[in-house]
Each structure stands twice: as structure tokens, then as C-alpha cells.
Amino acid sequence: MATTAMAGQQMEMMGSRTQSRGRGESLAERNRTLYEAQKKARRGPTPEVFFAKHIDNSRIVKADDPERRREMRSFAGAMCILFVLVMVYVWQHFTAIEVGYQVEAQKHQVEEMREQNRQLRLSEAQLTDPGRIDRMAKQLGLDAPQPGQVIRPEGGDANAPVVAQVGTPTLVLQ
């Protein structure tokens, strides 16, 4: 299509050449008009020329090259090994990063548990303060027990010292 357009433009230039001879113009004027016509036909600094090539590659069959096939197999094998090595490295890297995040999360959890333990110990110390218990008992109308008011389940004297005893564990068979 482009070749027919160029051919049409060249035919116009040829026609202008025959017409200019009939008028008796000088050779310099004719060359100038041809140059201007060619300049208008150009798209860039150089004229574009297109050739139509009709090539039929349908009957061409690629010859089998066993050496090239062997080279491609070894190249593919090397690339697979390289890919596996890179993937193992990337897997290890991301696993290390993930483990680092887990360690940091567990450190944070340990710190939270330590703070909670400290708060619980402080709360226990406040609740088991003997002065506090005494004040609460007095607010409720309780007073120190009178002698003989405390009865121990073992029986015995209330003011007598009590000796701690360890019972032996027994094995129950069923």
C-alpha cells in the first residue's frame, strides 16, 4: 500500500517534468520544482522506500540439533538448581525474619506477664496487710477473741502450742 503511494507520487513528478519542458523552463527551475515535490513527499530527513517481499516459509523445517538440545538441557538444569538454591535462601531469610517477630512478641508477652505479676503481688500485699484487716474488722464490729472463745477442732487447750504433723500418704487400690 505504501509502495503504491510512493509510486503515485513519483508518477506525478514525472508528469510535471514533461509539462515543464513544454513551457520552455530552464533546467535549474525544473530541478528546483522536482526537489520541492520530493521534499513534500518525504516524511523525515530521508525518503522512505518500501519494498513488498513475498516470502513463503511454510515448507521450511527446522533441523534437529542434538548438541544444541544437550546444551539447552544442561542450561535448564543449571537454572533449576540455581532457582532452587535462591528459593531456599529466600525461605530461610523470611523464616528468620518471622522467628525474629515471634521472639519479639514473646518478649513483649513476658514483660506484660511480669507487670501483671507485680500488680498482683502489690494487690495481695495490700489485701493481706494486718492493719487493714484490723480496721475492717473494727468497722464491722468485730473485736479480738476472748480467752476460751476459740475452739480448735483437735480439742485441747486454746492457748497451748500446736505441733505440725505430716500424714503419710496412703495408696488406695480398687
Flag whether 174 is in a domain. Answer: no
Cite the beta strand spans of the chain per DSSP E.
Answer: none
Flag whether 153 is in a domain. Answer: no
pLDDT in tens, 64-88: 899 999 999 999 999 999 999 999 9
Q: Are residues 113 and 129 in the same domain?
A: yes
Residue range of the domain that includes 51: 1-61
Q: Are residues 3 and 44 in the same domain?
A: yes
Flag whether 125 is in a domain. Answer: yes
Say what the pLDDT of residue 20 is. 47
Q: Are residues 55 and 107 in the same domain?
A: no
Flag whether 83 is in a domain. Answer: yes
Q: Indicate the pTM of the whole model.
A: 0.40
Give the closest residue to 3 by CA, choosing from 41, 49, 45, 46: 49
Q: Are residues 54 and 112 in the same domain?
A: no
Q: Are 13 and 34 in contact (CB under 8 A)?
A: yes
Which parts of the chain have pLDDT scores under 50?
1-2, 20, 22
Pick the last residue of a domain from 61, 78, 108: 61
